[in-house]
Amino acid sequence: MILAASTVIIEKNIALIDGTWKQYQADRSLKSRLETSLRTAMGYGGMIHEFKNFVLRHNPNSIEIIHRHIGAAEFIIKHYRLLQLSDAEITALDDISGVIRAYENFHFKINGLVESGKSITEIDRIVKVNDTPAFMSNKEFSIALKSLKVTSQIVTWGC
The greatest distance separating any two alpha carbons of the chain, rounded to the nearest whole angstrom, comes to: 88
Angstrom distance (rounded) from CA 154 to CA 126: 49
pTM recorded for the entire structure:
0.68
How far apart CA 80 and CA 74 sit, in angstroms, is 10
Residues 6+ apart with CB under 8 A from 55: 110, 120, 123, 124, 127
CATH topology of domain 32-147: Four Helix Bundle (Hemerythrin (Met), subunit A) (1.20.120)
Rg (CA), the chain: 22
Q: Tell me: the pLDDT tens digits for 109-154?
A: 888 898 899 999 999 999 988 877 766 666 665 655 555 444 333 3
Q: Please give the C-alpha separations between residue 73 and each of 27, 37, 79, 116, in angstroms, as whole numbers.
A: 19, 8, 10, 31
Domain coordinates of the chain in residue numbers?
Answer: 32-147
Q: Which burial class, exposed, middle or buried, applies to 118 when counting CB atoms under 10 A from its CB (0-12, 13-18, 19+)? A: middle
